[in-house]
Amino acid sequence: MFRVHSGSKGYQCLDNGDYIRCAKQLWVANKDMKGPDLYPFNPNRFVNRITSNLPHLYMPFGVGPRGCLGQNFAMVELKVLIALIVSNFSFSLFPKYRHVPTLRLVVEPEHDVDLLVKKL
């Protein structure tokens, strides 16, 4: 939750002490922001179309002066870890896997995701 000072935004007035809650789940499932191909895995959607217009649509570390101080360090650690894993193993979905995204706290698969992992 965020605390705001008196002022107005659009058609609603905000008073001292009012709280605003940003429902991040609504951003994730918004077809107006992400386009009609909302659920299929499409990493290209983040290349230019969304990030240029909505740079903070995906914000796992927060944004602004209260964002996570360790964001850059964590991202470097993750990139190194992913590079090590991907260079030593191959991954594929189990043949009977059926993708059904479900909106809970975050978008997640409704069913378990079984992966076939093979050492290279």
> What tens digit of pLDDT does each residue of 16-62 get?
777 776 666 666 666 766 667 766 777 776 666 555 566 666 677 88
Closest CA to 85 of 119, 112, 113, 116: 119
13 is in an annotated binding site: no
Predicted TM-score (pTM) of the model is 0.47
Please compute the mean of the pLDDT values over residues 61-79 and round it to a whole number.
88
Task: Give the residue from 23, 21, 16 showing the smallest Cα distance to 2.
Answer: 21
Q: What is the pLDDT of residue 7?
A: 55
